[in-house]
């Protein structure tokens, strides 16, 4: 066993609150502010909000009193970008890691699983604005009052504010420490004892506050209303309600009135009165009907022949307040192009739906997962697929800390059959109305419904999918879910020494432990996927949660035309390629097992 004190170095913890601040100077062009008190570079203290420009930042830093962090003050590109020394007022940091919900199957959790969060306690202190105030000489008497009371008065809201939690060892540079990133959600206090509690959240939390398509109000402007065949339509609305994109259909846009969807390609007029052009009535499976004056119209989202992971990317990037750069665009492109190239959608979203719900459906139907990795400060994409590298071997002797191993089973997560309703007829009708779908597939694992095998229990997972329109996608979804969930899903928990700190969500591990044996009582190696990682003892120990993983063997993918023959391929190429086995032996030329269709 590896002892957790192997590293034995004294750890330090630093919390950093990044607050945007205005780069314009009071009363100097373009700022036209005058009077007193002068601003504190925040929006709510600004006296010329038309010229507020929060391109700078100040990073307020806090450490535990015993850490003695020393000099940390730094100026970045200019005087508008500052990091302070650490105020020794940090009490505690409590972090909850992300946890994957593979296949969006676990009940009682977000489609993404459990989202990451952090709770921080600090002590208030007297502060004379000696850091971060450009106008101290102009203020006369400076109040040496509560830091957090003044901070709260200057920042009643927290747009684009971020929390970083640094964890490292004494003597280690801040840039070399492990850092976790969250969005600032709340600041409570100070209370009568000077206690302050700060909470930060996973950026994916913002998806449950966003709707797609966003609510619009495009009123019919024709005095007599419109008939069921009329294509000359006047509307009264904001121009953005007509022009904004909701999907990938370009200049072809859609608006819903009642149970009818109308398409249009343009508009004429000036705000707020417009006339739609290129109108087609009763589109996308709906029927044209008459509409009255002032009937309110809702813009409709439409994705046409687009890959499901690309829909998820568009929803995150363009229809949520998730900050730009958090989705790992380059990594998504590599993963999506390689493993998710064939699954496409033609989908209509006819009313506002929480983006979180839509992303959960896409994750399930498109066979991929994503999560907030607070350590890399990115949202990565992972296809439901075999590992493309040799899984990490984990053993009792070399990795698992004694007395930290645990195992549980979740019978409620098991399924013996998957029913998929797909290819919607009319997107204005109920999502779970089975007669509103043109097709249905049922995939059954018959042995897992036998009396002698499982007690004869039928465990059906019925899916109503707005995103699936092809037989292939429906069949793949059913097969993938049953591969993972036909047996009772099992979950492991265990802790490792800091030497295994690189293990992250999505890793595949081959675990060999005396606690998992075959029918003869011999320890066996089983395969698991990491669904959560936390660090209960900062710098010394990590804890992981694993879910049973059924992908074993070497799985094939389509290769480039110039790929080498098997005998000329490198070991790395063999792990990520596909060659035909010998017809007589069903083995590869070197005796290796054959590839399996992925």
pLDDT of residue 557: 65
Please state the rounded mean pLDDT for residues 430-442. 95
Q: Got the DSSP string for 106-166?
A: -TTSBTTBBPPEEEEEEE--B----SS-TTGGGSSSPP--BHHHHHHHH-SS-TT-EEEEE
- Sign, CA dihedral 37-39-42-45, equals positive
Domain spans of the chain? 11-89+124-201, 214-299, 392-410+489-548, 411-485
pLDDT of residue 139: 83
Give the contacts of 356 (CB within 8 A, at least 6 positions apart). 110, 111, 112, 204, 207, 208, 210
pLDDT of residue 468: 95
Flag whether pLDDT at 307 surpasses 70: yes
Give the contacts of 300 (CB within 8 A, at least 6 positions apart). 213, 246, 254, 255, 256, 261, 284, 348, 349, 350, 427
Do β-strands 56-63 and 81-87 pair in parallel, antiparallel, or remain unpaired?
parallel
Tens of pLDDT, residue by residue over 526-580, are 999 999 998 877 777 889 999 998 765 555 566 777 888 888 888 767 766 777 7
Round to whole Å and give the CA distance between 434 and 422: 9
Measured CA to CA in angstroms, residue 183 lies from 51, 144, 532, 564 at distances of: 25, 29, 20, 47
Q: Which range, of 497-506, 508-517, 561-570, averages the lowest pLDDT?
A: 561-570
Question: pLDDT averaged over the chain?
Answer: 90
Give 259 or 584, the one with higher predicted confidence.
259
High-pLDDT (> 70) share of the chain, %: 95
* Backbone dihedral angles phi then psi of residue 568, each to the nearest 5 degrees: -100, -5
Please state the rounded mean pLDDT for residues 227-249. 96
Tens of pLDDT, residue by residue over 460-480, are 999 999 999 999 999 999 998
Tens of pLDDT, residue by residue over 394-422, are 999 999 999 999 999 989 889 999 999 99
pLDDT of residue 7: 39
pLDDT of residue 88: 96
Round to whole Å and give the CA distance between 33 and 31: 6
Do β-strands 417-424 and 460-464 pair in parallel, antiparallel, or remain unpaired?
parallel
pLDDT of residue 326: 94
Nearest residue to 20 (alpha-carbon basis) of 41, 39, 37: 41
Flag whether pLDDT at 100 surpasses 80: yes
Nearest residue to 296 (alpha-carbon basis) of 211, 216, 232, 240: 216
pLDDT of residue 597: 54
Nearest residue to 547 (alpha-carbon basis) of 309, 308, 384: 384
pLDDT of residue 1: 32
CB-CB contact of 554 with 590 (8 Å): no
pLDDT of residue 558: 66
Please state the rounded mean pLDDT for residues 155-174. 92
pLDDT of residue 107: 67
Flag whether pLDDT at 592 surpasses 90: no
pLDDT of residue 589: 83
Whole-structure pTM value: 0.86
Round to whole Å and give the CA distance between 285 and 427: 7
Do β-strands 273-277 and 233-236 pair in parallel, antiparallel, or remain unpaired?
antiparallel
Half-sphere exposure of 249 (CA within 13 A, CB side): 23
Coil, helix or strand for 229? Answer: coil
Give 423 or 140, the one with higher predicted confidence.
423
* Longest distance between any two alpha carbons in the chain, whole Å: 93
Please state the rounded mean pLDDT for residues 508-530. 93
**CA 542 to the chain's CA centroid:** 22
pLDDT of residue 577: 72
Tens of pLDDT, residue by residue over 199-209, are 999 999 999 88
pLDDT of residue 113: 75
Give 154 or 571, the one with higher predicted confidence.
154
Tens of pLDDT, residue by residue over 263-283, are 999 999 999 999 999 999 999
* Count of other CB atoms within 10 angstroms of residue 531: 26
The enclosing H or E element of 548 equals strand 541-548
pLDDT of residue 2: 35
Topology of 392-410+489-548 in CATH? Elongation Factor Tu (Ef-tu); domain 3 (2.40.30)
């Amino acid at each position: 066993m590896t002892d957790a004190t192997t590293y034995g170095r004294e750890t330090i913890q630093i919390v950093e609150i990044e607050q945007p601040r205005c780069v314009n100077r009071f009363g100097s062009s373009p700022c036209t502010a005058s009077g007193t008190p002068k601003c504190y570079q925040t929006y709510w203290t600004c006296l010329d909000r038309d010229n507020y420009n929060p391109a700078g930042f100040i990073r307020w830093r806090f450490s535990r009193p015993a850490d003695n962090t020393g000099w940390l003050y730094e100026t970045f590109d200019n005087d508008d970008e500052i990091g302070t020394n650490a105020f020794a007022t940090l009490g505690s940091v409590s972090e909850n890691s992300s946890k994957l919900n593979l296949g969006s199957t676990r009940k009682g959790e977000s489609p993404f699983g459990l989202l990451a969060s952090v709770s921080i306690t600090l002590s208030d202190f007297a502060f004379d604005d000696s850091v971060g105030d450009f106008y101290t000489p102009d203020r006369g008497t400076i109040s040496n009052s509560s830091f957090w009371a003044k901070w709260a008065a200057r920042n009643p809201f927290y747009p684009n504010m971020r929390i970083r939690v640094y964890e490292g060892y004494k003597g280690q540079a801040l840039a070399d420490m492990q850092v976790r990133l969250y969005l600032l959600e709340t600041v409570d206090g100070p209370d009568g004892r000077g206690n302050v509690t700060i909470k930060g959240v996973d950026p994916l939390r913002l998806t449950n506050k966003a709707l797609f398509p966003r609510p619009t109000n495009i009123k019919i402007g024709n005095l007599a209303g419109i008939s069921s065949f009329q294509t000359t339509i006047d509307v009264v609305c904001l121009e953005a309600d007509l022009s904004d994109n909701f999907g990938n259909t370009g200049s072809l846009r859609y608006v819903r009135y009642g149970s009818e969807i109308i398409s249009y390609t343009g508009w004429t007029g000036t705000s707020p009165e417009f006339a739609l052009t290129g109108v087609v009535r009763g589109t996308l499976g709906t029927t044209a009907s008459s509409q009255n004056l002032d009937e309110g119209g809702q813009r409709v989202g439409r994705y046409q022949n687009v890959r499901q992971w690309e829909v998820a990317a568009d929803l995150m990037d363009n229809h949520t307040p998730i900050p730009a750069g958090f989705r790992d665009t380059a990594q998504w492109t590599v993963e999506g192009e390689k493993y998710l190239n064939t699954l496409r959608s033609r989908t209509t979203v006819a009313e506002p739906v929480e983006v979180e719900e839509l992303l959960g459906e896409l994750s399930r139907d498109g066979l991929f997962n994503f999560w907030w990795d607070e350590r890399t400060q990115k949202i990565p994409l992972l296809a439901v697929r075999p590992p493309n590298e040799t899984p990490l071997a984990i053993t009792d002797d070399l990795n698992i800390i004694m007395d930290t191993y645990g195992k549980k089973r979740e019978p409620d997560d098991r399924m013996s059959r998957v029913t998929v309703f797909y290819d919607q007829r009319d997107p204005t009708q109920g999502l779970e109305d089975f007669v509103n779908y043109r097709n249905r597939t049922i995939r059954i694992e018959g042995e897992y419904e036998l009396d002698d095998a499982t007690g004869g229990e039928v465990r059906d997972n019925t899916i109503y999918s707005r995103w699936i329109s092809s037989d292939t996608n429906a069949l793949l979804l059913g097969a993938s879910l049953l591969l993972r969930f036909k047996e009772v899903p099992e979950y492991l928990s265990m802790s490792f020494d800091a030497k295994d700190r690189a293990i992250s969500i999505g890793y595949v591990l081959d675990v060999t432990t005396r606690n998992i044996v075959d029918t003869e009582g011999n320890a066996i190696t089983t395969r698991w996927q990491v669904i959560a990682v936390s660090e209960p003892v900062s710098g010394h120990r990590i804890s992981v949660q694993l879910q049973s993983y059924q992908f074993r063997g070497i799985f094939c993918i389509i290769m480039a035309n110039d790929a080498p023959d098997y005998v000329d391929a490198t070991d790395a190429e063999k792990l990520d390629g596909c060659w035909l086995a010998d017809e007589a032996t069903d083995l590869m030329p070197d005796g290796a097992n054959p590839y399996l269709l992925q």
